[in-house]
């Protein structure tokens, strides 16, 4: 899946999560009458966070080519719920102070806060790849929340029901778009799938020519380990999963440092047997420890051919 | 010359004012909202949401104005509500002064300062605390056992939250007077936690009102009375976490504003020692008293404000509950007496949730439903039910199209030649059900099982992938025909 496809589908994931959030929020408000205004907002942000958190994890893992782990989906939902809860609580004093004097601004701030906090929760998943991702996700969520809020505020008085549903959908799209687009816009390089001798990898990525965006400070683990064997609670152990029999469970590490990119063997696959069984080549040279990557380098991982593209001068 | 011209202008303006009758119409008092405007459900009489407002007719100091209320049947016609400057006539209006049966229940909480300074002696020889105890009785003169629930709670700087949260609401005058007598005498070590007492008191009052109200009906009238002789003072040795300083004051003021509950501040004793500015911020009306008579009068005023409210219920200018999403309404009220005297209120804001769906805060009662049925046009009830479903279906369909159809147009090359077919497993895994053919499959190598992997050890770098690439796989199938 190309970067733009990822962006498109992740936005749809957000939109779907937003629509379902709207349905559940409306049902809850119908079932629980007499709730205070702040409680209605708290319920809405919590539900929105839960859906977006769960959906984002489920679909991003699905498209990574690896298995969707229920534990991570639940963790994603819980983190989204927590983020939504915090957003709902933070906006209470703002609403109390500004709600009467600047209603439009207060609504926009409320949506932005919801987007930002939920975005931050989602960004935590990639904190180990690059800590800046958390800030990017927060900023992306903030802008997404602003867009959703503008739709809601702009259409609110015009079309009942539709305006709010559209607001939820927009904020979901905005958050997921914002969270996904930040690393794409800020990318310094791309690792692109070319072809693979393993039919599974070829079947998964051959048609879409899957791309992974890479930016300075990132540290990706390349491997073939099935996520069933992962022990973490929220993030995948393998960032670039390629289902190739000639790729070790944890095969290599791709990282950017001081303006350059490097490909190194993963410490768990540096013994002689692993060197022989799990090939790792750049420009035809076997990588024993690590090697710097340059623009348009051909990378051979197992029986899978990848292409590294960067605008950075080596 | 200029002075002559200016004087002539003043005379002219005064003459115009008198001629238009404007000077005579200037109100001697005003309407003051006694609770926040609440959204109420008036179904099945009408699908249009209703709003309920409560107000008092008060003078410039906030004390109830002595006026002759119009008869109940005329009150509605004399009351006007302005929503974002749009004039509306309420479909129901009632004054408790003229119709006792209009009372929905009353919940009051009286917080009495028991700080050390309340031991100060007054000219009468009694301490401030003893004077307060004597004056409090006036509040219960017209106690209605069917409607009233009153709690009298001491507060200082020790056990503030615990004592207020454990308040016992008296259901009879005797119980209320007993609670007054049982107030603990002030201790010299006690300071004054006004801000925390107000915040906790509002919380307790709201909870009690919710408990008293029958499910789905209107909440009862609420009143918080805060009596103190000083200012907020929290020192070392007092309860931890008590509100203090500018932040504490702001928090308490915000709590009062957000609750919409009528809070009567009573400053008693030496006016110089009372923090009048802070008291004005944490109350909706402030009264000062320096002796027993004045304090008795103040409690009488507080009681009147609770028992002499006008209720007005009006239909929303928007057809459905969902029409209120994202709206902030500025609401004013006016009452014109048959004599022509007009009272106007200040503005109160009703705001829908910032993100969430508006929810009803109560339901119309029988009288309100009856008048709403006759007076309020109803929207299309069926449409109000169907529209959300249509919105969901429409947006759902749009998303489905974006998920499954648009990508085939944009990234057509990735979909060309893909024929929907049953996916079979490459490996002979236990869960590979649905396979049509019964051809034996090879077992999956370690690390490549797709199901039932719980018992399998994690795949390490030394594990071998035993894929079968022997020549036998390349051998010609028996049924294959030789190339020509």
- B255–chain A nearest CA distance, Å: 9
What residues does A280 pair with on adjacent strands? A301
Among candidates B141, B229, B220, B124, which has minimal Cα distance to B180? B141
Q: Which residue from B318, B349, B396 is facing A100, i.e. has the nearest CB?
A: B349
Cβ(B199)–Cβ(B243) below 8 Å: yes
Residue A24 main-chain phi, psi, to 5 deg:
-65, -40
Reported as a single tens digit per residue, the pLDDT across A194-209 is 988 888 888 888 877 8
What confidence score (pLDDT) does residue B342 get? 87
Q: Read off the pLDDT of residues B53-98 as tens digits, 9 standing for 90 and up.
A: 988 898 888 888 878 777 777 888 889 999 988 898 898 888 877 6
Average pLDDT for residues B301-329, to the nearest whole number? Answer: 86
- Separation in Å, CA of A253 to nearest CA in chain B: 15
A and B: number of Cβ contacts within 8 A = 174
Tokens coding B64:
């109830």
Is some CB atom of chain B closer than 8 A to the CB atom of A314? no
Q: Does A8 touch chain B (CB under 8 A)?
A: yes
Question: Does position B134 have pLDDT exceeding 60, yes or no?
Answer: yes
Rounded to the nearest angstrom, the minimum Cα separation between A18 and chain B is: 11
Sign of CA pseudo-dihedral A48, A53, A58, A61: positive
Q: pLDDT: is B228 or B461 the higher one?
A: B228
Asked if pLDDT for residue B482 goes beyond 80, the answer is no
pLDDT of residue B430: 44
Confidence label for A225 from pLDDT (cuts 50, 70 and 90): confident
State residue B16's pLDDT score.
39
Q: What's the pLDDT score for residue B450? A: 58
Give the mean pLDDT of A228-255. Answer: 80
Query: Cβ(A237)–Cβ(A230) under 8 Å?
Result: yes
Q: Sort out which chain B residues have CB atoms less than 8 A from A35's CB and list them.
A: 359
Nearest to A34 among B325, B353, B361 (CB): B361
Tokens of B363: 């339901």
Q: A188 by DSSP, 3-state: which?
A: coil
Task: Kindly give the residue spans of alpha helices, DSSP state H, lying in chain A.
Answer: 3-31, 37-63, 70-98, 103-123, 132-155, 162-185, 199-205, 272-277
Query: Do the Cβ atoms of B355 and A49 come closer than 8 Å?
Result: no
| pLDDT single digits (tens) A151-180 | 888 876 677 778 788 888 888 888 888 778
Which residues of chain B lie closer than 8 angstroms to A245, CB-CB?
Answer: 445, 448, 465, 467
User: Residue B432: its pLDDT value, please?
Assistant: 42
By C-alpha distance, the chain A residue nearest B427 is A200
State residue B437's pLDDT score. Answer: 45
Q: What angle, 0 to 180 degrees and rounded to 10, lies between the N-to-C axes of helices B381-404 and A3-31? A: 160
Does residue B44 have a cis bond before it (omega within 30 degrees)?
yes
Q: What pLDDT, on the 0 to 100 scale, is given for residue B320?
A: 82
Residues A278-297 have a mean pLDDT of 86
On chain A, the residues whose CB falls within 8 A of the CB of B352 are 37
- Is the pLDDT at A15 greater than 60? The verdict is yes
CA gyration radius, chain A: 22
pLDDT in tens, B444-458: 666 666 555 455 556
Query: Which of A103, A170, A206 would best serve as a mutation to test chain B binding (most B beta carbons within 10 A)?
Result: A103
Residue A51 has pLDDT above 90, yes or no: yes
**A64 part of contact set with chain B, CB < 8 Å:** no
**A110: nearest CB among B354, B360, B461:** B354
Whether residues A41 and B354 touch (CB distance < 8 A) is answered with yes
Optimal mutation site among B254, B353, B457, interface A, most CBs of chain A within 10 A: B353
What is the residue-averaged pLDDT of chain B?
79
Q: Does A271 touch chain B (CB under 8 A)?
A: yes
3-state secondary structure A249-309: CCCEEEEEECCEEEEEECHHHCCHHHHHHCCEEECCEECCCEEEECCCEEEEECCEEEEEE
Mapping DSSP to helix (H, G, I), strand (E, B) and coil, where does residue B342 land?
strand
The alpha carbon of residue B377 is apart from the nearest alpha carbon of chain A, in Å, by 18
Q: Which of residues 120-159 of A touch B (CB under 8 A)?
A: 152-153, 156-157
By Cβ distance, the residue of B322, B353, B414 closest to A40 is B353
Q: Which residue has the higher pLDDT, B69 or A85?
A: A85
Are the C-beta atoms of A127 and A179 separated by less than 8 Å?
Answer: no
Would you state the pLDDT for residue A230? 67
Would you say the C-alpha torsion B129, B134, B135, B140 has a positive or negative sign? positive
How far, CA to CA in Å, does B427 sit from each of A200, B109, B431, B448, B468? 11, 74, 10, 8, 12
Interface residue A258 vs chain B (CB under 8 A):
no
Residue A80's pLDDT is 92
Q: How far is CA A72 from the centre of its chain?
A: 13
Q: What is the mean pLDDT of residues A127-138?
A: 78
**Measured CA angle at A112 (ends A109, A115), to 5 deg:** 155
Q: What is the pLDDT of residue B396?
A: 95
Going by DSSP bridges, is the β-strand pair B148-155/B106-113 parallel, antiparallel, or unpaired?
parallel
The ipTM assigned to this model is 0.80
Work out the pLDDT band at A256, boundaries 50, 70, 90.
confident
A203 Cβ contact partners less than 8 Å away, ≥ 6 residues apart = none
The pLDDT of A48-54, averaged and rounded, is: 93
pLDDT at A216: 78
pLDDT in tens, B89-132: 898 888 877 666 666 788 899 999 898 888 888 888 888 888 98
Contact state of A200 with B426 under an 8 Å Cβ cutoff = yes
Which residues in chain A touch residue B257, judged by CB atoms under 8 angstroms apart? 96
Contact residues for B469 (Cβ-Cβ < 8 A; gap 6+): none
Kindly report the backbone phi and psi dihedral angles of residue A258, in degrees, each rounded to the nearest multiple of 5, phi listed first.
50, 45
pLDDT of residue B22: 38
pLDDT value, residue B332? 92
Q: Could you tell me whether strands A211-214 and A189-196 are parallel, antiparallel, or unpaired per DSSP bridges?
A: antiparallel
State whether B349 and A99 contact (CB < 8 Å). yes
A224 chain-B contacts, CB cut-off 8 A: 447
Q: Which residues have C-beta within 8 Å of that of residue B141, sequence separation ≥ 6?
A: B300, B303
- Nearest by CB to A245, from B353, B462, B467: name it: B467
Average pLDDT over residues A108-135: 84
- Residue A309 tokens, joined: 């593209």
Measured between beta carbons, which residues in chain B are less than 8 angstroms from residue A44? Answer: 353, 355-357
């Amino acid at each position: 899946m190309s970067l733009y496809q990822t962006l498109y589908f992740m936005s749809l994931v957000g939109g779907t999560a937003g629509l379902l959030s709207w349905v559940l929020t409306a049902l809850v408000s119908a079932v629980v009458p007499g709730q205070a205004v702040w409680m209605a907002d708290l319920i809405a942000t919590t539900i929105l966070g839960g859906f977006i958190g769960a959906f984002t994890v489920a679909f991003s893992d699905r498209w990574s080519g690896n298995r969707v782990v229920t534990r991570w989906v639940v963790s994603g939902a819980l983190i989204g719920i927590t983020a939504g809860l915090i957003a709902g609580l933070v906006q209470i004093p703002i609403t109390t102070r500004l709600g009467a004097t600047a209603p439009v601004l207060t609504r926009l701030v409320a949506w932005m806060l919801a987007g930002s906090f939920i975005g931050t929760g989602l960004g935590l998943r990639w904190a180990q790849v690059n800590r800046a991702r958390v800030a990017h996700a927060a900023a992306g969520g903030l802008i997404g929340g602003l867009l959703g809020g503008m739709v809601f505020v702009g259409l609110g008085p015009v079309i009942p029901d539709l305006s709010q549903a559209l607001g939820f959908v927009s904020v979901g799209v905005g958050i997921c778009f914002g969270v996904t687009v930040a690393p794409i816009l800020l990318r310094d390089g791309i690792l692109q799938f070319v072809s693979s001798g393993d039919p599974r990898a070829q079947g998964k990525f051959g048609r879409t020519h899957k791309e992974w965006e890479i930016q300075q400070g990132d540290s990706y683990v390349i491997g073939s380990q099935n996520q069933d064997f992962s022990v973490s609670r929220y993030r995948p152990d393998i960032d670039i999963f390629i289902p190739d029999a000639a790729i070790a469970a944890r095969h290599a590490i791709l990282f950017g440092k001081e303006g350059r990119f490097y490909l190194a063997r993963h410490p768990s696959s540096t013994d002689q047997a692993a060197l022989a069984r799990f090939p790792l080549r750049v420009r035809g040279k076997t990588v024993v420890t690590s090697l710097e990557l340059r623009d348009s380098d051909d990378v051979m991982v197992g029986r899978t051919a990848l292409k590294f593209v960067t605008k950075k001068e080596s | 010359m200029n002075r002559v011209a200016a004087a002539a202008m003043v005379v002219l303006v005064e003459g115009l004012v008198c001629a238009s009758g404007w000077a005579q119409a200037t109100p001697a008092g005003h309407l003051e909202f006694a609770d926040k405007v609440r959204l109420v459900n008036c179904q099945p009489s009408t699908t249009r949401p209703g709003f309920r407002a409560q107000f008092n007719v008060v003078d410039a100091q906030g004390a109830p104005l002595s006026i002759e209320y119009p008869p109940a049947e005329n009150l509605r016609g004399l009351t006007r509500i302005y929503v974002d400057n749009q004039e509306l006539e309420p479909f129901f209006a009632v004054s408790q002064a003229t119709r006792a049966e209009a009372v929905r229940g009353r919940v009051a909480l009286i917080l009495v300062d028991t700080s050390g300074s309340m031991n100060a002696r007054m000219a009468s020889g009694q301490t401030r605390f003893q004077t307060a105890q004597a004056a409090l009785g006036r509040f219960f003169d017209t106690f209605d056992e069917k409607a009233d629930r009153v709690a009298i709670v001491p507060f200082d700087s020790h056990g503030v939250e615990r004592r207020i949260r454990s308040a016992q609401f008296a259901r009879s005058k005797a119980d209320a007077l007993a609670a007054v007598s049982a107030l603990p005498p002030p201790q010299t070590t006690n300071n004054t936690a006004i801000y925390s007492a107000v915040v906790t008191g509002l919380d307790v009052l709201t909870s009690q009102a919710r408990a008293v109200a029958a499910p789905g009906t209107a909440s009862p009238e609420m009143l918080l009375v805060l009596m103190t002789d000083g200012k907020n003072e929290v020192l070392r040795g007092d309860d931890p976490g008590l509100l203090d300083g500018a932040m504490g004051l702001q928090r308490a003021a915000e709590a009062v504003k957000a609750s919409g509950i009528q809070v009567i501040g009573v400053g008693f004793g030496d006016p110089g020692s009372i923090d009048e500015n802070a008291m004005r911020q944490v109350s909706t009306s402030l009264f000062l008293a320096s002796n027993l008579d004045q304090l008795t009068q103040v409690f009488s005023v507080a009681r009147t404000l609770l028992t002499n409210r006008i209720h007005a219920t009006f239909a929303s200018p928007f057809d459905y509950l969902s029409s209120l999403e994202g709206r902030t309404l500025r609401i004013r009220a006016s009452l014109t007496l048959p004599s022509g005297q007009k009272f106007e209120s200040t503005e109160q804001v009703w705001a829908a949730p910032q993100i969430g769906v508006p929810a009803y805060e109560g339901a119309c009662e029988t009288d309100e439903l009856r008048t709403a049925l006759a007076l309020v046009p109803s929207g299309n009830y069926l449409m109000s039910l169907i529209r959300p479903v249509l919105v969901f279906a429409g947006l759902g369909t749009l998303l489905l199209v974006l998920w499954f159809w648009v990508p085939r147009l944009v990234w057509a090359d990735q979909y060309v030649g893909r024929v929907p077919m049953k996916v079979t497993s490459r490996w002979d895994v236990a869960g590979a059900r649905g396979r049509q053919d019964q051809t034996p499959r090879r077992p999956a190598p370690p690390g490549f099982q797709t199901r039932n992997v719980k018992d399998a050890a994690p795949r390490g770098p030394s594990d071998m992938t035993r894929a079968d690439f022997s020549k036998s796989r390349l051998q010609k199938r028996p049924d294959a025909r030789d190339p020509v």
